[in-house]
Amino acid sequence: MEMVVLENEPEVLMENISNKGNRDTSAAPGLKLYRCVAVSFGLLCIIQVALNISLRLSLDYEAGTKNLTEERDELKGKLNDYISGNEAKIKTLTGERDELKRRLDVLISGNEGKIKTLTGERDELKRRLDVLISGHGAEIKTLTGERGELRRRLDESQSQQNALIRERDELKRTLNDFDQLFQKGWEYFHSSFYYISSTEKTWQESRDDCVSRGANLMIIDSQEEQDFTRRFPKRMWIGLTDRAQEGTWRWVDGTLLQRSYWYSGEPNDEWGEEDCAEINYKDVENSWNDMPCDRQIHWICEKKMAP
């Protein structure tokens, strides 16, 4: 602890008093004064700054308050203007609405009687209809049944009629086809038409001609057909060939030859390659002969008709 000696010189005593707590006891009196003035000045500056800030804030606050007040007053004015400008309209509309309401009430009350009358009439008609129905229940049931039966029979005869119409049309078409073929010189035999050419062509050309007529070269698959060919005293190509495989004779529809009518000794492939069949020996039942396909002779087409 520091001891203060009272007997010391007055300056030292003063310094000790002013510098309590300060160990530097060697500073000059001018410097002390300077420090004192500087501290005071510093304090004054701080106070000045604080005053400036508070003044500024106060001014800003005042200005802001003023702006807001002005804005509020302006908006208030506008709102008042709007209300007073539309008051008349609102009043008019309210009046019109009330008038319409009144007229609607008048209308309803004026027709109430009519509505009541119509409802009554409807109910009466309903009641009378119910009485009528319940009194004639059996009759109605019978009539309904009869009506159903008649309807069923009508439908039946309608579908029969439709079937007949279809059949008639089909027959008409067939009759027309027959007529056309007869006119073009075709012969009818056992559900087929036959065309005997007046010119001569190779086997392939003959076949093409038949196809162009909606037919093909004749396929002989019955004794009757074979006999039929004997009516025509001509050498004629028929639809039989072994071109695809030597010795395997097939008809033009692709079926294999079953019952054949080769003349005695035929097929003999006499010219090396005789791959197409003709009707040749017409004076005998077995009249077929194999011939080179490029020879030109008559031909016979067959067009099968529905049996």
Does residue 289 bind Ca ion (CB under 5 A)? Answer: yes
Which residue's entry shows tokens 């002989």? 220
Burial of 297 (0-12, 13-18, 19+ CB in 10 A): buried
Does residue 287 bind Ca ion (CB under 5 A)? Answer: no
| Segment contacting ligand BGC by CB under 6 A, of 38-46, 66-74, 113-121, 263-271 | 263-271
Q: Cis peptide leading into 267, omega within 30 of 0? A: yes
DSSP-derived 3-state class of residue 74: helix
Among 86, 268, 286, 296, binds ligand BGC (CB under 6 A): 268
Report the candidate in 191, 219, 242 with the shortest Cα–Cα distance to residue 300.
219
How near is the Cβ of 256 to Ca ion at its closest, in Å? 20
Point out the residue whose Cβ comes nearest to ligand BGC. 270
How near is the Cβ of 180 to Ca ion at its closest, in Å? 37
Count of residues binding Ca ion (CB under 5 A)? 6
CB 181 within 8 A of CB 303: yes
Which residue's entry shows tokens 């049944």? 145
How near is the Cβ of 268 to ligand BGC at its closest, in Å? 5
Of Ca ion, ligand BGC, none, which one does residue 279 interact with (CB within 5 to 8 Å by kind)? none
Decide whether 195 or 267 has the Cβ nearer to Ca ion.
Answer: 267
Does residue 275 bind ligand BGC (CB under 6 A)? Answer: no
CB 300 within 8 A of CB 236: yes
Over the window 248 to 267, marking each residue x when it contacts Ca ion by CB under 5 A and - when it does not, the resulting string is ------------------x-
How near is the Cβ of 290 to ligand BGC at its closest, in Å? 6
Beta bridge partners of residue 278, listed in sequence order: 237, 289
Does residue 94 bind ligand BGC (CB under 6 A)? Answer: no
How near is the Cβ of 280 to Ca ion at its closest, in Å? 8
How near is the Cβ of 184 to ligand BGC at its closest, in Å? 30
Among 15, 242, 274, 302, binds ligand BGC (CB under 6 A): 274
Of Ca ion, ligand BGC, none, which one does residue 144 interact with (CB within 5 to 8 Å by kind)? none
Residues in the chain: 307
Among 210, 220, 291, 301, binds ligand BGC (CB under 6 A): 291
φ, ψ for residue 201, nearest 5 deg: -145, 170
Does residue 289 bind ligand BGC (CB under 6 A)? Answer: yes
User: Residue 100 and residue 110: Cα distance in Å, rounded?
Assistant: 15
Q: Which residues touch 4 (CB under 8 Å, ≥6 apart)?
A: 13, 16
What DSSP string runs through 214-232? T-EE----SHHHHHHHTTS
User: Residue 166 and residue 168: Cα distance in Å, rounded?
Assistant: 5
Does residue 287 bind ligand BGC (CB under 6 A)? Answer: no
Alpha carbon 8 to chain centroid, angstroms:
121
Among 60, 270, 285, 294, binds ligand BGC (CB under 6 A): 270
CB 302 within 8 A of CB 204: no
What are the residues binding Ca ion (CB under 5 A)? Answer: 266, 268, 270, 274, 289-290
What are the residues binding ligand BGC (CB under 6 A)? Answer: 266, 268, 270, 274, 289-291
